Structures are given as C-alpha cells and as structure tokens.
Homo-oligomer: A and B are copies of this chain.
C-alpha cells in the first residue's frame, strides 16, 4: 500500500512554504494552539504562519509575540485579512456557530487575494446542512481547494483497518457494531465549560461531533456509504448539575438542549451490511467496556477498534485483527492466492496494532497537514495530479474536502429527520456530488 509509506514531505527541497492565515489561533486558549499549531511546527519548511485575524487585534498581536511568529501580521478586519496577498491558505478554527458568517465574508473579501488557494475549516463546517451547502457552493465558485478536519481518516489505526479490509483480510463484512461515549453530555457540567456546546444548533454535539466523526471513519474504513438508516435522538437529561474542577457539585442546575443519546442503525450500500450504533453522553461509567468500541465482523475475520474516549478522531486507539493465515496472500493482479500453502497456512492469526505514545489529538491533524503538503508539492510524484480535487471519498491518499463534509452533513440531517418522522430513510443518494 502506498499510503503506509507515509509522506516523504520532509525530503522536499527547500521551496516557498505555504503561507497560512489563521482565524482562531490564540496562544493561550482554544483548539488551534493545541493541535494545528504543533502540527504545523513539525512542518516548518512547508507551512509558515503569515497572518492572523481575531475580532480583537490585541489577541492576534499577543499571539504573534508569544509564539514568536516573525513573519505574521495581525489584521484589524476580516476584510483586510482576507484580501491580503500574503496568504495562500486560510485555516478557520473558531466556534462552528460563527463559521457561516465568517466563511461567507472571507470568501467574498478574498476575491482580491490572487494567491488564496487552500481553505481549511474545522468540522462541522457549519451548523446546518443549508449553511454547509452555501459554504460549499461559495468555495467551489471561488475555485478553492477545500479541506475539512475529518482527521480521523488520517489516524494510523483507521488506515491500517481500511487496508486490512480492502485487501480482503476479513473477507466480506457482514455486520458492524459501534458503541461510543461522548463525555460532555451527561448529568454534570463543569462550570468552566462553554455554554454553547450544550445548546442545540451550534454544530458541536453528540450527533454532529461524536457520531459525525465516528460514522465518517466507519464509512471511510469500509469504503461504503449507507443505503438505509434509522435514528432515535434523546435528550433524557434536560438539566445538568454544575460541578467545579474537582468534580464537586455546586448546587446549581442548568438547562441542556443538545442530545445525550443517539441510537442509529442502518445498512451499508456495499453488501447490505447491518450496522448498529449506540452513542451515549455522560461521564464514562462503562467499567466493562471501552468508551469507544467498533466491531467489524467479516466472513474470514474480525476487526475491533477500541479507544479510551468516545471520539475516535482524537483518541489513541488499539486495533485488533483476527483471521486465517491463508489470507496472508490475497489475490492481486489476477494471481491466484496462495491458499493452503506455506508453513502457517490455515492457522489463525492475530494482530494487535498500537502505537503506545501516539498523540492522536495532534497526530491526526499533523497527518492532515502532511497530506495537504503532499498535494501542494506533489511529494508523491503523482503524474497528472489535478490542480484541485473535489472530494477524497474513500481514497487512501488525499484529504477530506467540503464535499466530504457535505455528504456527512446530509447523513446527519437524515438522522434528525428519521428521528422526527419515525421512519427508515433511504440515503443511498446522499453521496452524489451534485447539490
């Protein structure tokens, strides 16, 4: 597999780095400083931060000083930021609820920046399917190469599982079970936790985040979208107890409108495979199972992915594989598999894949930046590399785009619609690229 050779981006001769402008990088708090920034630091020949925008310019100036971003400018307005020709790539890592407004403005103002080529936005892209469609359209009209942070696709565990599946090591998949635990949405809420993640419609909840990332990963691993789905969405905990940082209850109850449980079941387009999912909120109380368990059963073997947190895209996982060793030699290029030959033929084999000190929070984002760099510099020497690509789909190479995000938004919208209507929905068309 080519993908497992990894990126050879580090061997790229010194060229002009991709100049990055951030909306949302703050040296002292937030997601970008914990993930995007360390990811970029490790790719300093390929990416250079040249611009920052924040509603308060003092924040950007402080961040530039603190991080010693010698080549970066703090812009006073979104307009000046977006239209500056010093930026090749814009990364947006603010609250999802602000995405639509900021992105639509960015896309408008950026028309006067001839160098603007890459737009990298954090999942969930937008708070609704409608907004996501508008953003997708505007970015497509602008001719941009888009990137969405569905970074679970870059997890080494997910790629190894995808490889085992695609090479036939578990035969035909015949059933899948997923159980995940999204810690935030339970009985207690840390008093310091931002309110918006407990309010419906802000694009960060058990369905969009926990389910969204995980089901995207599942589809990616199995190389299949869904054909039919059914969902039940629960808000069984309409009020939460505030707790302090030591877990003590503060005697105050606050409303919660986001879901705390999702039941989802459906069939994969490929093979009509039954898939059963249960995503729960609440602090992990699952003593006898991990907070994320993905079981993929096939006619010739099984895969199990386990994680300590219910968020597959930011968790260090363990991948278990079991099958028969006759599968060691899958047929390829029309050759007959060497079934039954060899010392261990027909014996049961097992693989446990775990990178003990892998930091998945940074690592998966880092690998996403690597992929962008691979694309930009054509590190992998792909002949006739397109100047832009619409979607990753289920390719090993590349990176997820706004189209991949849009397809996932359609699935999420179907989840809510199925719950509202109490119906099984046919979703076999949602992966079509057309709007």
Q: Which residues from chain A sit less than 8 Å from chain B, CB to CB?
A: 174-175, 177, 179, 187, 228, 230, 232, 234, 236, 261, 263-267, 271-278, 280, 282, 285-289, 295, 297-299, 301-302, 304, 320, 322, 350, 422-424
Contacts and interface: CB of A to CB of B under 8 A. Distances in A.
A211 to B, nearest CB: 13
A271 B261 CA distance: 13
Contact of A280 (B265, B272, B274, B304): B274
Contact of A299 (B179, B187, B304): B187
Contacts of A174: 236, 261, 280, 282
Contacts of A286: 295, 297, 302
A282 to B, nearest CB: 7
Chain A, interface SS category: strand
Contact of A263 (B271, B274, B322): B274
Given A174-B282, A175-B278, A424-B422, A304 B289 contact: yes
B287 A302 contact: yes
Given A187-B299, A232-B265, A289-B295, A276 B274 contact: no
Contacts of A228: 232, 422
A349 to B, nearest CB: 11
A271 B297 CA distance: 32
Given A287-B320, A423-B424, 10 more contacts: A174-B236, A177-B179, A230-B232, A232-B265, A232-B266, A232-B274, A236-B273, A265-B265, A274-B280, A285-B302
Given A322-B288, A422-B423, A274 B175 contact: no
A280 B177 CA distance: 11
Nearest to A273: B236
Contacts of A264: 265
A207 to B, nearest CB: 13
A263, A264, A299, A423 interface centre (most CB from chain B within 10 Å): A263
Contacts of A232: 228, 230, 265-267, 274, 424
Nearest to A280: B175
A286 B299 CA distance: 10
Nearest to A425: B422
B236 A272 contact: yes
A297 B278 CA distance: 12
Contacts of A272: 234, 236
Given A175-B261, A187-B299, A234-B274, A350 B287 contact: yes
Contacts of A234: 267, 272, 274
Contact of A285 (B275, B280, B297, B320): B297
Nearest to A418: B424
